[in-house]
Structures are given as structure tokens and as C-alpha cells.
Structure 1
Amino acid sequence: MKFPKKGVDWYYKSGKKYVTPVILIFFFIVAFVLICQMVKPESYNVKLFEVAEKTIRSPQTVEDTEKTKEEQLKAAADVEDVYVFNRETAQNRESLVSSLFAYVGEVNQEAAENDAKNKKAAEDANKATPKPTTIDQKLTSLKAKLSKNVSENVTDGISDTMLSILLRMDTKDLDAVEKEVISALDVAMEESVRKDNMTEVKVGARDTIELSNLSPSYKGVAKAILSYAIVPNEVYSAEQTADRRKEASANVIPVKILQGQVIVQEGQIIDREIYRQLALLNLLNQKMPIKQYAGFGLLLVSLASMLYFFTQRQKNLDHDKKNQALLVFSSVYVVILAMLVIIRYLEGVDISNISFLFPAAFGPMIIKILLNEKFAFMITIFTAIASFFVFQSDATTAVNVTVSTYILLSGLASIVVLRDYSRRSAILQSGFIVGLANIAFVFLLMMISNTGLVTFAFWVPVGYAFLGGIGSFVLGIGVIPVFETVFGMLTTSRLVELSNPNHPLLKKILMKAPGTYHHSLMVANLAESCADAIGANSLLVRVGCFYHDIGKTLRPPYFVENQLQGINPHDRLTPEQSRDIIIAHTTDGAAILRDNRFPQPIIDIALQHHGTTLVKYFYHKAKEQNPDISELEFRYPGPKPQTREIAIINVADSVEAAVRSCDEPTKDKIRAIVNSIVDDRIKDKQFIESDITFQEIEVVRETLCATLNGIYHQRIQYPDGK
């Protein structure tokens, strides 16, 4: 299928930057849908007052707000009213009683003085002795004193009869009655006196008076005064009562429906309370609360943000590689979530312990091969987090932790065990080791969860775990080529596959352009040595060299290494025509590799290995014919080398061709050629877009000289016949 040129141009100029965000958003939406689908509560078709067809457990721990509110109201109602004890009340009542007796004494004193004064005045006037002050007069005077400028009118609580009895007493009797009343009042007011127990307190106080040594004629008035003096000394505090009830309500532990708790047993009648709990758990309508959807959305956003910032910190990746890493990681994570959906479905059909069959090592294994070990650790953590939510339904919290811990341990084991992934046999061997490690993990976790070791429930997850470990790697081997093709990834195993001499394109080079084939092998040896010397990807360099000149297979005779002795097709062409044929081999080679779905790094080598260098021979030939010819017209279209690997090939390609064309190359000649080409590339600024350093260029320079000296070493001339 051929895409329109305008569309392809738009993609590479501006459209490419929109592809990665769009795909990442798509992956995010898919991941969100998958997670929500897995954690969505199972729906039950139940009705009120019907018999439950199966036992229903709570899929999660939720607060029963209605029950909690009932308990809070009950706790608040159980709090008794708060009364505040006022010790000053007793003192005030004692003062009131003392004042009463003081006024009685004062009235009697005034009456006696008036009587004596009147009697003396009558004697002086030789008149008859006047009558003494009557009780009624004293009572009137006493009541006037007791009710004048007072906050409490004592006369309203003590009858005139009792007051009259007091007025008839002498001072000694008054003191005795006052003493007994105050003493009894003090004892009574030391205790809590409220409206609801005031009668009981008064009765007890009167009994105290009854048992005293007072004259029986005075006990009645003492009881009356004491009953009047006793008042509540504890007052109801609405504020403190409200505070205590609020505190009691706040101290109520929220009522929760625990995860794994049985809501209704099979065969049990579904009453209103059970139905209410099922509705609270969203087990009747397959709906999750909006806040749960928002929570999972924010969780995925958090994970995506961590992945993004982690990727941006990878200094060894350029912008395109970072985008590619994000796409690969996201796609693998979506595949893992899809696997979780399948396992979750199998759990739903009551396959016991099937969660241990989940290929936990699949994601870390693929990510380590396609990206690197750091990303593999991250996807292991992401998978464990997702599994914790996925396996919580219809299970207890202990089971959740067990499965999630198993997935985490299995993923970490795959990262540690997988070392050599250039051969499928080595990958399968790693899978077998991870399967054994999974058995150990399950054995350990089952012991921790106190599961019987000789039961069927123990050996089933052990078998599942072993199969899950091996299956992860078998599945990974089958899926990796898909990722390599879709994302243009280049793995060690893929490079080894491309380096096979029986590959169709290598056989094509050998058959159509044998000189180019030999040249490519020589360049591969040189470039590989240089890559090893500076720590670059030597396998990529070697394989890239095999294919870097595949564009020459379209016109083999036009390239010197394929020309027969004395026959040069360029002799019949203009310099411009020759230039076009020579330059075209880079773009033709990239097109051939692209049509054969080669990884992008190999395509880049074919396209960039000449950079924007000048086709000097035909340029100078054209300049002889037209001195005004522009140098730009005879340069390769580029781009310049973008990586260290391509920069190495750029130099090695030219050096190999130059040394091969040299007669009897010596060490000095080789070094001169190498220095000339390297200096020319630096002067021409061919390496400014790659990440190769000047120090590494010097290492490449020395490595080329040493390798070429080993290839073209001078042979000892032996005498004839010896």
C-alpha cells in the first residue's frame, strides 16, 4: 500500500508530533475502561423478600453511613443531662437563714426597747403602764424588714404562724433553733440537690431535725425554715450537655461492611436490611460511584505522569526514542490489563486460584528486551498496583495481598533471571527458572497465609504458578516480533536474525553486487572494532554495515567495487548523471529496507551513512566543465549521522574504500588516509548532530589504524622455491 507523497511529507514535517500523544491518550482510555470493567461490582438480580440463590459477599469495605448515624444518635441519647454543682448556693442559703433569725432577734430587741421606753415615759407622767408590743405588731415589723429591698421575699415561703412562733422565742431558744437548722442545712446542701430529688433531700433534713434535742414545740418551725432553705444546688447546663453528646457521637466507630463479609447466605430471605446493604454496595445496578471512577482516573494519571517524567530523565534516549519507549510501555501495559480481564473472567466462573496462572513475568520480560531493565522494574510495579484492585472483588484482603505480592515477586524474578536474550533457547531457560521461582513464592505465601501444605488448595496454585512462569516467556517470544514490526524496535535477537548470511537481502547483495558484499563485510569488521572501543552498540553497527549499501544492488556496475576490469559505465555519462546514480544508493537502500519492514535503526544507517558529504570525484569533473557549478549540488541529501554508530560507519566506509584502492598500503599510508578522512569529516561538520565526542573520535581513529594494519600487514618476501 502506497501513501500519497503529500501525506507522507506532512507526517514527517508536522504530523509526526501529534501521533504519539494521540496514541498515548488512546492507550490511557483503553486502560481506564479495562480497569473499571474489572473492578466494577458484580450485579445480582435479587428482589425483596425472595430467597437468595447464592451467598453474596461484600466486594469491598464501605462505611454504612445509615447505621453509623443510628449509632451516633443512640450514643448521644445515652448521655445524661449535665448539671453544674454550685457550692455557693449552700453558703447563700445559710446566710439567708442567719439573716432571718437576726431579723427576728432585731424585732424582739426593738420591741423590748420600745416597751421599756414607753413604760418609763408613763411612770414619769404618772400615767398607767401601757400595753407591751403585741405579736401581731412584731410580725408586721418583721415582715416589713424581710420584704424591704430584697431579691427573695422570705415571707412568701414561711407562713405567719411560723414567724410568730419565732417571735415568741427568747434569745436562747432562737440560737438553739438557728444552730440546728444551719447544721442540718449544711449537711443537706453538701450533696447534689436537683428538682427531681429535692423532696427526698428535704425529708431527710427534716428527719435530722426530728432527731435533734430541740423542744418539740420548736421542731415544727425549724422544719419549715429548713424546707424553705433547701433549694437545688445543681443547675442543668444545656451547653455542656450538648458538648458531651456531640463528643459521644463523634467517638462512635463508623459501622463498616467489611470486604469479604457475608451479606446474605444462600437460601436466606432478603429482607429490607439486606436489600439496603446490597444497594449500598452497588450490587444491584452494576454501577460504581462517580468518585470511584474519578479515583481510578487519577490513579492512571499519576502512573502516566510518573512514567512520563521517568522517561524524560533517560539521557541516553533522544526525543524519538523516548516517544517510542512511551508507546511500547503503554501498549504492553494495556496487553497486561487485557490478560487481567481474562483471569478475572475465569475467576468469575469459579475456577479456584486461577489468579496464580497470570503471566506476571510477561510484561517485565518484554520491556527488558525491548527497552531496558529500568522500565522493566517500573512495569512490574504498575502491574502489581493494578492487580491489587482487580483481585479484590469477591475475595478477602489477605487473598488480595497474596496475589499482588506473588505478581510483584514473579515480575522481579524475571528481570533478575533474564540475562541472555539473544537466543530463544536462553529465553526459554530463563522461563523455566522463573517457573521454579514462582513455585517457591507460592509456597512461601501459602505458609504465611496458614494454608495447609498437603491440601488440594495448596498444590493447585503451585501448578498454576509454574505454568504462568514458563508461559510468560513462551508468550513473550511469540509477541516480541509483533512489537518489533509495529514499533520498528530492534532487539538483540532481531539483529542476530538479520546477521544470518542466508537472509534474502544479504543473498541478493552477494548475487547482484559481490564487490559491494565484500566491501560491506570489511566495513563491518572495521566499524565493529571501533564500536567496541568506545562502548557503542557493536552488534547494531555490524548488522547495519551488512545492509548499508544495499541500494547499490539496483545499479551494481556503476560502483567501482563491482566493475569489471577496464569497464566503467560512468565514462558514457555526464558528471550530473553519475552524481545522481551514486547519491541515489542511500535513498534507494532506505526504500528497499523500508519495503522489507526492517527496523528503523538499520534504515537510518542506510540513509545517513554518507551524511551530507561531497561526491568529490564527479564534482571536480563537473567543475572542469563548468567552473560556476555549486558544491551543494554534489552533496548527499543526508541527514547527517544522528548517532555514534552511524558516525563510526560514516568514517569506516570511506576509510575501507580508500585503503583498498591504495597500492601496497603501509602503516604510514594507512594512518595518513585515516587522518585525512577523519579530519575532513570534522571540518565538514558531519558529526555535529550525533552524540559522538572528540575523545571518542580519537579512539575511533586509533582503532581504525590498528585494525587496518592487522589486515594489510606487510608479508615477508620468501625466496623462490622456498
Structure 2
Amino acid sequence: MKYTKKWTAWYYKTGKKYVTPVILICFFIIAFVLICQMVKPESYNVKLFEVAEKTIRSPQTIEDTQKTTEEQTKAATDVDDVYVFNRETAQNRESLVRSLFAYVAEVNQAAAENDAKTKKAAADADKPLPRSTSLDQKLASLKEKLSKDVSENIMDGVNSAMLTTLLQMNAKDLQAVEREVTGALEVAMDQSVRKDNMTDVKVSARDTIELSSIPANYKGVAKAILSYAIVPNEVYSAAQTEDRRKEAAANVIPVKILQGQVIVQEGQIIDREIYRQLALLHLLDQKMPIKQYAGFALLLLSLGTMLYFFTNKQKSLDRQKKNQYALVFSSVYIGILLMLMIIRFLEGVDISNISFLFPAAFGPMIIKILLNEKFAFMITIFTSVTSFFVFQGDATAAVNVTVSTFILLSGLASIVVLRDYSRRSAILLAGFIVGLANMAFVFLLLLISNSGLLTLAFWVPVGYAFLGGIGSFVLGIGVIPLFETMFGMLTTSRLVELANPNHPLLKKIMMKAPGTYHHSLMVANLAEACADAIGGNSLLVRVGCFYHDIGKTLRPPYFVENQLHGINPHDRLTPEQSRDIIIAHTTDGAAILRDNHFPQPIIDIALEHHGTTLVKYFYYKAKEKNPDVTEADFRYPGPKPHTREIAIINISDSVEAAVRSCDAPTKEKIKAIVDSIIEDRMQDKQFVECDITFQEIEIVRATLCATLNGIYHQRIQYPDDKQGGRQ
């Protein structure tokens, strides 16, 4: 018992605020498990190299990474090596050849000038003429020039015999050979020269020399020099080659196994490739990749986040209401997932097109009745998005989109069609209309998907859609009382039921406290008119007024409207005793309503319709006997009204009682009473916890005056019965 009290105290003090988050987390986990159970692929018990017993299709579109890698490798391998053409190479080789011939001419000229000087000097001295510069001397001088301060040793490619031949040429022949060699070199080096085709280029260039007009005895030297001068002018670029191979690999379109694609035909041998694809699609182990689990978790988290922000955006709801709305919304979503699971099971037993039987209008219809139209639109979107992933199976993507589109259209139709939900007959009529709309939607969607018009497969889903439309509303009518009981939700149909005069509690008020019953009816008329004027829930206000004073049925004679013949039991009681009896009718009324399982809004009206106002009559009576009495001792326990509707009832209740006790109420008296009571409530800060505005209070003031003036208007004095009676 000790631990129970501690637990109860902790719950009401701290733990109660955690209940809603914990329940929502549980709903999230349940929804995640249900979705993963529905979307995970079907498992097939097949073995390698056996004959397939049935045709297996891909349940989803997935990338075949192994095949993609193979295609990327092949594309990279097919890329040729990249060579970079260098024009400077041709210029450098041509300069080298020209330099060779220039050195030859320079050596010959230097030798000739040296011989001339030597001969002149000998002639002047009358000496014998010296010998001319020998060929060996010229060759040695040429070799020295060619090998001094050079980056490339020409002697590695040109031998002494070739140089000797060049030195023996006269100036004209030397120029002719130079011209032919450089011309052929320019033509050869202007094209792509690589190591693999350099021989062919040299042969072609040598053929050019062969056909030239230079002396035949010099063609061999020219060919040799030309062959030496021709080198590769394109070099391999490893970096560019690697970049092009990467680009080629990146341009490969990923190989995908498409949803609905046949993996293996019935009767076909399951080879290694087919078996690998089945394993890749998790059709052998009935598992999904981790990233898919994460994806569905993030999807649900996104939907939950949308619901959270959307609910918090409803400024007309207090925190308790927002939590209640979130719980109801989540419960309906879980119910929708369960129905989706049933439909998926029926699809698994090969019932064709059974997905169109899904009661798509159920969620929007329930949410619109229990919450409001905005949340109904949201549950429609949630259901449509979820169905897009659920209705996969062996279906193609086109069928998947068709079913999701049907669910979206059916949900929207139910929101539009459902207007009057105070009567079950009106709800059923809306269900019939939605069923017809479903038939039209499926008919159009199947036409768009190019289905055969004169086939059974076309008309069966149309019939399913009609049954799903009606079934949604029939199921909704049966489930609504369950939600009303579980979450204390108050629907229009429930309010209409509670407003029935034959309700046991109303009959109890009528029999035990007829004055209170009449007072409640009058307050209901006043408060309903005010609620209509400010756009409040007038039906809730009316029904709440019927039961707001039910606590008076425990002690009817102690309330003035039930006292007969001027007998007042309070004359025998102290002010404190009278106070306790008067104040108790709010808590007693709330207790009676709880015992009879009334919706929380009605209980709140019974508990809060007096707020924390002062029981003035007995307070002043006690004050006369004991000046030390405080107002706090004679105030209702509250709480203060937390909704506009209860604030209206608070004002209307006092106004009706005050005007009823007034002798010959006139417009001026009624206005004075209304103004006095409203100002008293404002100064007493009775409306600080509800969202009623000053503008709405002014509308309530005007509405009360107009309504009461209509009730208590001046009547014409008719002649008495002796003169013909009243008309």
C-alpha cells in the first residue's frame, strides 16, 4: 500500500507528462515493425542448379553492384593509352639537323680560310707552299664542335664515315642535302610518331629521300641523318590515361534489377548468376538491407515530426488536447497499417486485385469525425505515402502507383462527401457515395493504365472499390464508440445521443430537480446562442448545459429553483454548512458524470462552470457573524474555465438565474444585469485560463441581451375570460 501511494503521487506530480510520449514511442515501434513485416521480400526455398518451380520476379528495383563494377572495369580497360603530342620535339630535331649541317659548312669554311692565310704567308716569305688542311683535321674539328657543350651527343647517331662524306661535299650539294633532309623531317614529325609506329615513319621518310634529286652517292648519308633525327613526338601520359579511365567508368550506367523483372522463369535451371541475383534481392533469406530498415525508420520519423509540428500549430488546442489528438491520430494510423497487412496477406494467397478492397476512406472518415478536417487530410497523405511502399510484392511499379493514387483519391473523396455525421444514416449515405466515387476512380485509373475493358480483371477491382468505400464507413461507425471510450473523445453523434430527453440522467434531473431541469434548459438556450455567435461548439455547449447542474440532484431542496412554498432548508444551517452544500454540487456533478462514463468535456463543464467565483450570499451572511471570514473560504474550488465554451456557460448560468429572480425585467434591467455579471467575472479574473477574447465577450454580451429580451419581452394585456378570453 505504501509503494502504491508513492507511485500514485509520483504519477500525478511528474509521471503523467511522460505517458503521451511513451505511448507515441510505442506506436512508432509498432508501426515500424508492421511496415517492415509487410515490405520485406518473400522467401523462396530454391537450390543451385535445380529447376525453378515458379516464375520469380524482383519485388523491388535494386542496383546490381557486382555487374556495375564489371561494366566499369571493362569500360576503363577499353580506354586507349593517352599520348601527348609535343610540337617542340619537331622543332628541336629540325634545329639539331640544321646545326649539324651548319657545323660542317663552318668547318669547311674555317679550313679554307686557314689554308688561304697560310699560303699567302708562305708566298710573302718566299717559302714553299704548305700542305692544305687534311680531311682528318676537319673531321676532328667537326667532332669537337658537335660534342662540346651539347645536351645530346650527335656522335651517338652519326658515325665518322657520314661526317666525312658531309665534309667532302661542296657547298651546293651540302645545301641540297640539308634542304631535302629538313623537308622530309618536317613532314615526318608533323604526324604522330610513337615507339610503335616510328619504324614506319622512318621508312616513309627515307622513301622521300630516295625520290629526291640529290646525287645518289649522298642519299645514303641523308637517309641516315634523317633516321637519326626522327624520334617519338608523342609521349605516354599516365595521369591523363587514368583520368579518362575514371571518366569512362563513371559514365557507365549502373546495372539495375528492375521491380517486376523476371529473375527466373518457371522450369528454368537456377544457375550461378540467377542464384546470385536471388541472394542480392534477399529472396533466399527474407531479409532487407540495413539501409532499408533505416530508411523506413526515417520515413516514420519524418511523418511523426510532421504530425508533431502540425498538432502544435493548432493554437485552439491546449496541451492536453494536443496530446489526445496525437494519440488518436497514431492509433488510427496503426489500425490502417493492420488493415494494409490483411490486404497484403490476401494478395499473398493470389487473390487478384484485392488491394482495391482496402478501405481507404476509413482513416479520413474517423479522423474527421473525432478530430477535424485538417487532420483528416493529413491521415490521407500518410496512408497514401505508406501504401506506395507496402503494395509492392510481385506487382509492377505501375500497379503500385495506381493503388496509391486510388487510396489518395478515395481518402479525399471521403473528406469532401462526409458533411453531416450527427446521424448514422447520413454517415452510411456518405459511404455509399464514396463507394460510387471509388468505382469511378478505379475505372479511370485502369483506363489510364491501358487495361482490357471487356475483361473480368478490369471489372473485379471496380467492384472491390465500391465495397471498400461502403465498408470504410460501416467499419468506422462500429469503431467510433471504441475511440470515444478509450480516449474520451466527444463526437457529434455522441452529443446528439446525450441530448436525448430520454437519457437516464436527464430523466433523473427532471424527476428529482424539476426546477434545475428548467433552469438548465434556459441556460442551454442562452449559451447555445452565444456559442453560435462567436463560432464555438454550440452543440457541446447545449449538451453541457443540460448536465452542468446534475450535482444538485443529490440535495435538490437546497437550491432555490427547487424550493416550494417558500421553505428554505438553509434557514436551519450555518453559512459554512450552506456553503459546503452549494459548492459541492460541482464536484458531485463531475463525480456522477464520471461514474456514468461521460466524455471529459461534459465533466469539465460540470466541474468548471462556476470557476472559483465567490458564494456571495453566504459569505456576507457569515461576515455578519464573524468579520474575520475570508473570501477564499467561500469560493468554489474551480478550476477556472479553460475553454471558451465553459466561459460562456459560466456567464449564461449566472445571468439566467439573476434575470429569473428579477421582477418585471426590462431591457434596461437585463442589460444592467448582464453588464454587472460580465464585469464581475472580468474583475475576478475568471477567464484568464481560457482563450476567449474581449471581442468575443462583447459579442456574448450583446447576444445575451438580445436573447433575454426576446424571452422576457412586454406582452399585450388581453381582456379577461368574461369578455371573450385571451386570443
Q: What TM-score results when the alignment is normalised by the length of structure 1?
A: 0.93
Give the letter aligned to residue 192 of structure 2: S
Q: Deviations over 1:497-540 (max 9, x none)?
A: 11111112112222322332222222222222232233322211
d(CA) in 2 for partners of 1:611, 1:509: 22
- Which segment drifts farther, 299-308 or 685-694? 685-694
Q: Deviations over 1:447-470 (max 9, x none)?
A: 222222222221122111111111
Structure 1 pair 526–140 and aligned structure 2 pair: CA distance change class (3 A): closer
- Offset at residue 319 of structure 1 (A): 2.0
What's the counterpart of residue 240 of structure 2?
240
d(CA) in 2 for partners of 1:141, 1:421: 119
Pair 1:351-2:356 in alignment: no
Alignment coverage as a number of residue pairs? 720
What's the counterpart of residue 15 of structure 1?
15
- What does 1:535-684 align with in structure 2 at a 5 Å threshold? 535-684=535-684
Q: In structure 1, list runs of 5 or more residues that go unmatched.
A: none
- What does 1:376-415 align with in structure 2 at a 5 Å threshold? 376-415=376-415
Structure 1 pair 541–121 and aligned structure 2 pair: CA distance change class (3 A): closer
What's the counterpart of residue 293 of structure 2?
293
Q: Deviations over 1:309-361 (max 9, x none)?
A: 22222122222222221111121112112222222222222222222111111
Partner SS for 1:436: helix
Structure 1 pair 83–565 and aligned structure 2 pair: CA distance change class (3 A): same
What's the counterpart of residue 174 of structure 2?
174
Partner SS for 1:263: strand
Q: Percent identity?
A: 83
Structure 1 pair 222–669 and aligned structure 2 pair: CA distance change class (3 A): closer
What's the counterpart of residue 70 of structure 1?
70
What's the counterpart of residue 224 of structure 1?
224
Pair 1:95-2:95 in alignment: yes
Give the letter aligned to residue 159 of structure 2: S
- Offset at residue 100 of structure 1 (A): 2.2
- Offset at residue 127 of structure 1 (A): 6.6
What's the counterpart of residue 711 of structure 1?
711
Structure 1 pair 107–601 and aligned structure 2 pair: CA distance change class (3 A): same
d(CA) in 1 for partners of 2:663, 2:66: 98
Q: Deviations over 1:271-317 (max 9, x none)?
A: 22222222322333233222222222222222222221222221222
Structure 1 pair 167–667 and aligned structure 2 pair: CA distance change class (3 A): closer
Pair 1:56-2:53 in alignment: no
What's the counterpart of residue 203 of structure 1?
203
Structure 1 pair 525–12 and aligned structure 2 pair: CA distance change class (3 A): farther
Give the letter aligned to residue 212 of structure 1: S
Q: Deviations over 1:81-117 (max 9, x none)?
A: 1222222322322222222223333333344445555
d(CA) in 2 for partners of 1:710, 1:141: 139
Structure 1 pair 226–688 and aligned structure 2 pair: CA distance change class (3 A): closer
- Offset at residue 607 of structure 1 (A): 0.9
d(CA) in 2 for partners of 1:689, 1:119: 133
- Offset at residue 601 of structure 1 (A): 0.9
Structure 1 pair 663–88 and aligned structure 2 pair: CA distance change class (3 A): closer
Structure 1 pair 578–698 and aligned structure 2 pair: CA distance change class (3 A): same
d(CA) in 1 for partners of 2:700, 2:141: 131
Structure 1 pair 690–119 and aligned structure 2 pair: CA distance change class (3 A): closer
- Which segment drifts farther, 358-367 or 244-253? 244-253
Give the letter aligned to residue 139 of structure 1: L
- What does 1:522-533 align with in structure 2 at a 5 Å threshold? 522-533=522-533
- Which segment drifts farther, 108-117 or 529-538? 108-117
- Offset at residue 196 of structure 1 (A): 0.9
- Which segment drifts farther, 704-713 or 418-427? 704-713
Structure 1 pair 705–331 and aligned structure 2 pair: CA distance change class (3 A): same
Partner SS for 2:359: coil
Q: In structure 2, list runs of 5 or more residues that go unmatched.
A: none
Partner SS for 2:235: strand
Structure 1 pair 219–595 and aligned structure 2 pair: CA distance change class (3 A): same
What's the counterpart of residue 456 of structure 1?
456
- Offset at residue 128 of structure 1 (A): 6.2
- Which segment drifts farther, 402-411 or 54-63? 54-63
What's the counterpart of residue 163 of structure 2?
163
d(CA) in 1 for partners of 2:89, 2:682: 106
d(CA) in 2 for partners of 1:240, 1:493: 77
- Offset at residue 544 of structure 1 (A): 0.9
Q: Deviations over 1:38-91 (max 9, x none)?
A: 222222333322333322222222222222222222222111112222223223
d(CA) in 2 for partners of 1:248, 1:8: 70
Structure 1 pair 238–664 and aligned structure 2 pair: CA distance change class (3 A): closer
- Which segment drifts farther, 397-406 or 261-270? 261-270
d(CA) in 1 for partners of 2:156, 2:535: 112
d(CA) in 2 for partners of 1:355, 1:654: 58
- What does 1:179-198 align with in structure 2 at a 5 Å threshold? 179-198=179-198
Q: Deviations over 1:234-293 (max 9, x none)?
A: 222222222222222222222222222222222222222222222322333233222222
Q: What TM-score results when the alignment is normalised by the length of structure 2?
A: 0.93
d(CA) in 1 for partners of 2:106, 2:529: 130
Structure 1 pair 575–141 and aligned structure 2 pair: CA distance change class (3 A): closer
Q: Deviations over 1:549-608 (max 9, x none)?
A: 111222233333333435444344333333222221211111111111111111011111
Structure 1 pair 590–227 and aligned structure 2 pair: CA distance change class (3 A): same
What's the counterpart of residue 485 of structure 1?
485
Computed over aligned residues only, the root mean square deviation of the Cα atoms, in angstroms, reads 2.5
- Offset at residue 666 of structure 1 (A): 4.7
Give the letter aligned to residue 454 of structure 1: L
d(CA) in 2 for partners of 1:290, 1:234: 51
What's the counterpart of residue 83 of structure 1?
83
Structure 1 pair 5–691 and aligned structure 2 pair: CA distance change class (3 A): farther
- Offset at residue 119 of structure 1 (A): 5.3
Partner SS for 2:284: coil
- Offset at residue 676 of structure 1 (A): 4.0
Structure 1 pair 80–556 and aligned structure 2 pair: CA distance change class (3 A): same
